[in-house]
Structure 1
Amino acid sequence: MRYDLITLDVFTAVAEERNLTRAAERLHLAVSAVSKRIAELEQQVGSSLLLRYARGVELTPAGQSVLHYARELRLLLGQMDEELGSYSAGVKGHIRIHAITSALTQFLPGDLQRFIDSYPQINFDIEERVGSAVVQAVIEGRADLGIFAEHTRNTSLETRPYRQDQLVVVVPREHVLSRHAMVSFQQALEHEFIGPHPDSSLYSLFAQRQAEAGMSMRVRVRVSSFECMCRLVAARVGIAILPKAAIVQYLRPMKLQMIRLEENWARRMLVIGVRSMDLLTPTVRTLFEHLAVQD
């Protein structure tokens, strides 16, 4: 069925005013014209949309449904008008990003700076979340796109590669492992750890690799902040496995040393996820394409 936008606007006014006369005054129309529009819409729907009383009207269940979709349609059309109307002055918009700590501390700030240089009229809301929460936020529409580790459980999002990060073992300079340039995961597991948050992508990765190695990580403390993990390592509470680029700044002031992990999985892929490429607004698609081509 094809619906007339003016008729839907008239119906919305009647539904909100609960009175045909007040709706007509609001729309600067004759009451007869409003009544005719409503009657035509009811005929098109095949159901009564209003319960008519002497002092006004009430919505039927069908009327409540039409009101909901009429409002959604107007909101969507308004967003379209705003976005398309802005192209004469360059791409504008607002983008919501949820990302894991590794992406936020290593790559995203620089990538966004270059993007903003090209598109200065786009604004952002950025939230730091663990991997599973990033995926859920995108699925539920609370984020336009998410950045998380490739191994994070995800069955419904469309993803593209973003960046790779290198995981390293972080130890105090005097630690027994500090004399090694490279160690295996099994060697690291012989020591006590500062562990990541249970919902984080690092936690799920370590859980999988522990099972494969037939060993368990002895965790003394769990924290979600990379800086806090480094401070605890410096205090000799345990060692940690963290993304290289995210912790380089802490090595010298905290007297820490990083050691490469020899396993291939220590170089992990970060991905960008969206609900559907086909449903992306032009603004979000522009950012997606900018991020997805990073080396």
Structure 2
Amino acid sequence: MTVKQLRAFLAVAQTLSFTQACERLHLSQPALSLAIKGLEDSLGGKLLIRSTRSVQLTPEGESLLPLAKHLLAQWDNTEERLRQRFTLQLGRLSVAAMPSFACNLLPGVLVKFRRQHPKINITVHDVINEDVIDMVRSRQVEIGIAFSPEGAGSLIFTPLFEDQFIAVVPPQSALTQASTLTWETLLQHDFITLQRPSMVRRLLEQELAKQHIELPVAFESHQLSTVGRMVADGLGVSAVPSMCIQQMHQLGARCIPLTAPSITCRVGILTQQELSVAAQALRSVLIEQIKTPFLNA
């Protein structure tokens, strides 16, 4: 059976007239007759009894009528829902983002996206960098926001910006008087950082090791908010990507540019080759919205 054949049958069955069915479907009589014959041939028997004066349903035609109504209603509903997805009037999208981005930059992007496409619902997975990569690779999410991966494989990495690590110090510390800090000065104080396998922790250790500097960790936590609060309460100092400046200030800590060495990291979008229309739209908003580093935020 084809949709065209079912529509032809339903029009004739409801009007009991080939003439009226032709008008309803905008078909010629031969085209309508051919569609009905094709349906009957595919099913193996007569569905309609046609005379010069009337059209009647056979018992098999009577049994097909409610089924045809149901099938065509389902088809039309499916067609409409897909059309709505392609036109961004309906849909759901899953995104994975590392905590530093999810907490600080993603909400602003989602505000703009929601204004443009209010019918697209989004699930955000706030997970560590390594899990973002795994979730995109396994297709649990369509879009991931992460640091540039060492080996992307088949994934596509689209850079958004180059971020730079900044120092985070207690508000009462004398360090707040400095316009910039060196790592040597910062590491004279108790250091607070994220626990492994955090990519932030790994980047710091790798880059400092190149300068023969060891990262002495006094306190560690899984959450950036906990790290910021520990610093704000005077337990020590830390270093985080500059996109976290606003979050650190809200927690009560102070942020200062950090040099010698200056540690940078690329942040971008991870995707598979093919994306849904909704994912393509969000990717465009991300690229448009996230244009510059946030060192001066």
TM over 0.5: yes
The answer to whether the aligner puts 1:262 opposite 2:262 as a matched pair is: no
Match of 1:286 among 258, 281, 287: 281
Q: Give the match for residue 86 of structure 1.
A: 84
Residues 264, 191 of structure 1: alpha-carbon distance in 2 compared, 3 angstrom cutoff: closer
Whether the 8 Å CA contact 2:225–2:251 is kept in 1: the answer is no
Runs of 4 or more off by more than 4 Å in structure 1? 77-83, 87-90
The answer to whether the aligner puts 1:275 opposite 2:259 as a matched pair is: no
AA matched with 1:286? A
Whether the 8 Å CA contact 1:193–1:238 is kept in 2: the answer is yes
Q: Give the match for residue 48 of structure 2.
A: none
Alignment of 1:160-179 (within 5 A): 160-179=158-177
Whose radius of gyration is greater, 1 or 2? 2
Q: Counterparts of 1:87 and 1:202 in 2: how far apart (Å)?
A: 37
Q: Counterparts of 1:5 and 1:223 in 2: how far apart (Å)?
A: 61
Structure 1 position 80, deviation (Å): 8.5
Match of 1:131 among 129, 132, 144: 129
Structure 1 position 103, deviation (Å): 1.1
The answer to whether the aligner puts 1:209 opposite 2:215 as a matched pair is: no
Residues 241, 281 of structure 1: alpha-carbon distance in 2 compared, 3 angstrom cutoff: same
Whether the 8 Å CA contact 1:172–1:257 is kept in 2: the answer is yes
Whether the 8 Å CA contact 1:162–1:272 is kept in 2: the answer is yes
AA matched with 1:124? I
AA matched with 1:217? L
The answer to whether the aligner puts 1:95 opposite 2:90 as a matched pair is: no
Q: Give the match for residue 249 of structure 2.
A: 251
Q: Give the match for residue 187 of structure 1.
A: 185
Residues 131, 5 of structure 1: alpha-carbon distance in 2 compared, 3 angstrom cutoff: farther
AA matched with 1:139? R
Question: Which whole-Å deviations, capped at 9, do the CAs of 1:100-122 have from their partners, x for residues lacking one?
Answer: 11211221111111111111111
Question: Which whole-Å deviations, capped at 9, do the CAs of 1:250-273 have from their partners, x for residues lacking one?
Answer: 53763x322111257544321000
Residues 91, 186 of structure 1: alpha-carbon distance in 2 compared, 3 angstrom cutoff: farther
Q: Counterparts of 1:207 and 1:132 in 2: how far apart (Å)?
A: 16
Residues 210, 245 of structure 1: alpha-carbon distance in 2 compared, 3 angstrom cutoff: closer
Structure 1 position 136, deviation (Å): 0.4
Q: Counterparts of 2:154 and 2:188 in 1: how far apart (Å)?
A: 38
Whether the 8 Å CA contact 2:85–2:278 is kept in 1: the answer is no
Q: Counterparts of 1:88 and 1:285 in 2: how far apart (Å)?
A: 11
Q: Give the match for residue 239 of structure 1.
A: 237
AA matched with 1:202? V
Q: Counterparts of 1:244 and 1:80 in 2: how far apart (Å)?
A: 46
Structure 1 position 244, deviation (Å): 3.5
Q: Counterparts of 2:238 and 2:76 in 1: how far apart (Å)?
A: 50
Residues 252, 200 of structure 1: alpha-carbon distance in 2 compared, 3 angstrom cutoff: closer
Structure 1 position 227, deviation (Å): 1.9
Whether the 8 Å CA contact 2:166–2:242 is kept in 1: the answer is yes
Structure 2, unpaired ranges of 5+: 4-38, 45-74, 292-297
Match of 2:113 among 115, 119, 133: 115
Question: Which whole-Å deviations, capped at 9, do the CAs of 1:88-135 have from their partners, x for residues lacking one?
Answer: 864421110000112112211111111111111111010111111100
Secondary structure of the 2:101 match is helix
Indicate the percent of aligned positions where both proteins have the same amino acid: 23
TM-score (norm 2): 0.65
Secondary structure of the 1:293 match is helix
Residues 78, 215 of structure 1: alpha-carbon distance in 2 compared, 3 angstrom cutoff: farther
Residues 236, 152 of structure 1: alpha-carbon distance in 2 compared, 3 angstrom cutoff: farther
Q: Counterparts of 2:194 and 2:139 in 1: how far apart (Å)?
A: 27
Secondary structure of the 1:126 match is strand
Whether the 8 Å CA contact 1:152–1:201 is kept in 2: the answer is no
Q: Give the match for residue 146 of structure 1.
A: 144
Question: Which whole-Å deviations, capped at 9, do the CAs of 1:148-170 have from their partners, x for residues lacking one?
Answer: 01256533310112244442111
Q: Counterparts of 2:282 and 2:261 in 1: how far apart (Å)?
A: 30
Q: Give the match for residue 220 of structure 1.
A: 218
Secondary structure of the 1:229 match is helix
Kindly tell me the number of residue pairs found equivalent between the two proteins.
224
After superposition, the CA RMSD in angstroms is 3.3
